[in-house]
Amino acid sequence: GAGVSQSPSNKVTEKGKDVELRCDPISGHTALYWYRQSLGQGLEFLIYFQGNSAPDKSGLPSDRFSAERTGGSVSTLTIQRTQQEDSAVYLCASSPGAQVRIQPQHFGDGTRLSIL
């Protein structure tokens, strides 16, 4: 595709509900990243997928957060039993990955998640 696509663009849900956020990376990009962008916190790394390697989950804030990447392409970030502090913009990025020189990350528009 032309760029990284994320859906939905906005999500409002009640506290305690589960949510799924989707990311379609740029075709051919092997690396995929999830970040959380909130006021005062900047860009917080959540998880990183690189090809068939085990994902780097070191940034996930709690076990309510999980992500998967099927077929090395589309990724889904799932937040279970949402809390109000989960309200933020969730950004996805992809890059060609596996290069000698690090490649720029291409970001999507993000999903704005609001927990009531």
Closer CB to other proteins, 41 or 70, in the complex:
41
- How far is C-alpha 12 from the chain's CA centre? 17
Cα–Cα distance for residue pair 70/19, rounded to 1 Å: 18
Q: Which is nearer to other proteins, 20 or 56 (CB)?
A: 56
Output the DSSP codes for 45-81.
Answer: EEEEEETTSPPB-TT--STTEEEEEGGGS-EEEEE-S
What is the distance between the alpha carbons of residues 109 and 112, in angstroms, rounded to a whole number? 9
Q: How many residues bind other proteins (CB under 8 A)?
A: 26
- Kindly state whether residue 105 participates in binding other proteins, applying the rule CB under 8 A: yes
User: From the CB of 54, what's the least distance to other proteins, in Å?
Assistant: 13
Identity of the residue, 48 or 65, whose beta carbon is nearer to other proteins in the bound complex: 48
Chain positions 33 to 72 lying near other proteins, rule: CB under 8 A, are 33, 35, 40-45, 48, 50, 56
